[in-house]
């Protein structure tokens, strides 16, 4: 079946999260994505986390993050600091539609692969430059990581509790920064918009994406509040100025919670009756939204005393039945086993890599939309290191096998990463991570759960 981006070719010069994640949905929609790595600088996500927390031979080819972010892509190696490697890359630019890179601005200029250099070989080329702080300004050459951009863009200042410090909005510890996700989405949309513009005008363009600005765009209410009212928004935890009570309340079981949000006086009266405390609705401390806000701590204590003896699922069902907004707080395990996601085929089962069949099949997220006449499924696994170099150079540039061998001997392409640059292990001490509260628990039954998921999915 034809896919929306069949016939579009993208050269990806990126690693870690933001840029690979931006290009991932385009690959799922049919674009021929060629990921370019170098023997002395492979994508660092190749070596972790390792399936089952074990390191096997060729571990760099099946790291979980790399497989998640680079499905449906082809992988080649080119040393862009080598004149011959740069020349081959420009030849690929001549037969491509998009180049996407996440170097700091000085790097792409030093490689002489800036927009003007690409335009010289392909006037219709689209270049996405995905950087922490953009191509101009005093911060343009600063390196950026998610925790930094979450701090500098104001997001951390409004995230947390009134009596606590600013907190990261992203999944801290082993997770991904919120601004990384925002930057990835903006990169995807920018490329699609530029392709549409080129279809209508014939002109390519340079897309200057700043992760900092992408993060700023996620807090428009706080910015508007200052612009219009001169107010600097403070941290409010789970509370909301237009609702009360609102929060997450502990339930029975190990770290189980329910989220409750009350918008109107009538909803609060319904909540009070369901709790067996109908008099709360007429209590002067809670009779109006403003009074409930003023006495939120006392109200939270009353709700928590009620929910503590109940399961999160039972509170969810009881409150939804009477028109009060409530839902159990899902753990990541709950998400994996969620019947709604299973029904929609959100997780697609991929076979194990050829070099590590004992890993077994694993489920991966598909793009978050379904299309009535096109597919966005995963068709190929993430590429092994250097997997498609010969194929791409011969197919697109007509380079012969003897020439490819000569390129290898000259160090222009690399069959394997440069010795000494790979870490010795990708194994984590899971017990230490639990003790440090970077993990809540380690599920010893996850293999069984995955097998059950596969069985139900197949049926």
Helical (H) or strand (E) element with 362: strand 362-365
Give dist(CA 414, CA 85) in Å, integer: 11
Residue 75: strand pairing partners: 35
| Separation between Cα atoms, residue 180 and residue 46, nearest integer Å | 18
Residues 375-414 as b/e (b if ≥16 CB within 10 A, e otherwise) read: bbebeebbbbbbbbbbebbeebeebeeeebeebbeebbbb
Instruction: Look at the block and give the residue holding tokens 């020439």.
Output: 403
Question: What pairs with residue 35 in β-bridges?
Answer: 12, 75
Q: How many CA atoms lie within 13 A of 6 on its CB side?
A: 7
The tokens for 364 are: 């991966």
Predicted confidence at residue 422, as pLDDT, reads: 64
Number of helical H runs and strand E runs in the chain: 19, 11
Cα dihedral 5→9→14→20 (10° resolution): 20
Residues in the chain: 459
pLDDT at 101: 96
Distance CA 87, CA 82 (A): 9
Contact residues for 55 (Cβ-Cβ < 8 A; gap 6+): 425, 426, 427
What is the β-pairing status of strands 73-77 and 98-101?
unpaired
Tokens 């692969």, located at residue: 113
* 274-293 pLDDT, tens digit each: 999 999 999 999 999 999 99
| Residues assigned a catalytic role | 180
Looking at residue 445, its pLDDT comes to 82
Query: Is the peptide bond between 245 and the residue preceding it cis, with omega within 30 degrees of 0?
Result: yes
Percent of the chain with pLDDT over 90: 53
The string of pLDDT tens digits covering residues 97-119 is: 999 999 989 999 999 999 999 99
Domains identified in the chain and CATH numbers = 9-218+344-428 (3.40.50.10540), 246-334 (3.30.1540.10), 431-459 (no CATH)
Render pLDDT for 10-50 as a digit per residue (tens, 0 to 9): 999 988 889 999 999 999 999 999 999 998 889 888 877 77
- The structure tokens 């996405």 sit at 128
pLDDT of res. 459 = 45
Of 142, 77, 89, 143, give the one whose Cα is nearest residue 114.
Answer: 89
Q: Residue 319 corresponds to which tokens in the numbers above?
A: 């409150």
Are 212 and 144 in contact, with CB atoms under 8 Å apart? yes
At residue 454, the pLDDT reads 66
- Beta pairing partners, 74: 34
Closest CA to 247 of 141, 326, 167: 326
Q: Report the pLDDT value the prediction gives residue 282, as an integer from 0 to 100.
A: 94
Low-confidence ranges of the chain (pLDDT < 50): 459
SS3 label, residue 321: helix
Question: CA 8, CA 23: separation in Å to the nearest integer?
Answer: 12
Comparing C-alpha atoms, which of 15, 35, 36 is closest to residue 26? Answer: 35
Composition of the chain by helix, strand, coil, percent to 5: 40, 10, 45
Give CA–CA dist 202/195, Å, rounded: 9
Q: Which residue has the tokens 């395990």?
A: 333
Query: What span, in angstroms and rounded, lies between the C-alpha atoms of 17 and 20?
Result: 6
CA dihedral sign of residues 442, 445, 448, 454: negative
Question: Which phi-psi region, left, alpha or beta, contains residue 321 (left: φ > 0; alpha: ψ -120 to 50)?
Answer: alpha
pLDDT at res. 1:
58
Predicted local distance difference test score (pLDDT) of residue 170: 65
């Amino acid at each position: 079946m034809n896919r929306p981006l069949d016939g579009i070719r993208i050269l990806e010069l990126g690693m870690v999260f933001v840029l690979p994640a931006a290009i991932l949905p385009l690959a799922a929609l049919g674009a021929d994505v060629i990921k370019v790595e170098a023997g002395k600088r492979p994508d660092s996500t190749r070596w972790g986390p390792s399936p089952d927390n074990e390191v096997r031979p060729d571990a760099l080819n099946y790291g979980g993050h790399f497989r998640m972010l680079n499905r449906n892509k082809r992988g080649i190696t080119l040393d862009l600091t080598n004149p011959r490697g740069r020349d081959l890359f420009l030849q690929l630019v001549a037969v491509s539609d998009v180049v996407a890179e996440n170097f700091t601005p000085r790097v792409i200029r030093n490689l002489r692969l800036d927009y003007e250099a690409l335009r010289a070989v392909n006037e219709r080329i689209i270049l996405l430059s995905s950087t922490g702080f953009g191509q101009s300004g005093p911060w343009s050459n600063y390196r950026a990581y998610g925790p930094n951009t979450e701090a500098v863009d104001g997001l951390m200042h409004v995230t947390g509790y009134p009596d606590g410090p600013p907190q990261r909005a992203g999944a801290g510890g082993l997770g991904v920064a919120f601004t990384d996700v925002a930057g990835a989405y903006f990169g995807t949309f920018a490329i699609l918009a530029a392709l549409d513009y080129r279809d209508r005008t014939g002109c390519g363009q340079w897309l200057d994406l700043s992760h900092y600005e992408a993060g700023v765009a996620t807090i428009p209410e706080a910015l508007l509040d200052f612009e219009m009212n001169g107010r600097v928004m403070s941290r409010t935890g789970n509370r909301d100025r237009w609702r009360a009570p609102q929060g997450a309340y502990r339930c029975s079981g190990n770290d189980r919670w329910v989220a409750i949000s009350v918008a109107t006086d009538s909803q609060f009266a319904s909540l009070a009756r369901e709790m067996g405390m109908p008099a709360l609705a007429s209590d002067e401390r809670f009779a109006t939204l403003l009074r409930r806000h003023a006495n939120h701590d006392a109200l939270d204590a009353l709700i928590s005393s009620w929910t503590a003896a109940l399961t999160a699922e039972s509170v969810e069902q009881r409150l939804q039945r009477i028109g009060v907004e409530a839902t159990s707080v899902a753990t990541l395990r709950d998400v994996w086993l969620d019947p709604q996601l299973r029904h929609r085929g959100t997780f697609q089962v991929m076979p194990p890599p050829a070099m590590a069949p004992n890993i077994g099949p694993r489920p991966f997220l598909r793009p978050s939309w379904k299309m009535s006449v096109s597919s966005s499924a995963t068709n190929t696994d993430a590429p092994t290191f250097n997997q498609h170099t010969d194929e791409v150079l011969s197919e697109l540039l007509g380079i012969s096998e003897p020439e490819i061998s000569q390129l290898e001997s000259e160090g222009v392409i690399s069959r394997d990463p440069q010795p000494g640059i790979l870490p010795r292990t990708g194994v984590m001490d899971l017990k230490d991570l639990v003790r440090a509260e970077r993990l809540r628990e380690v599920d010893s039954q996850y293999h069984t759960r995955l097998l059950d998921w596969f069985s139900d999915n197949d049926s």
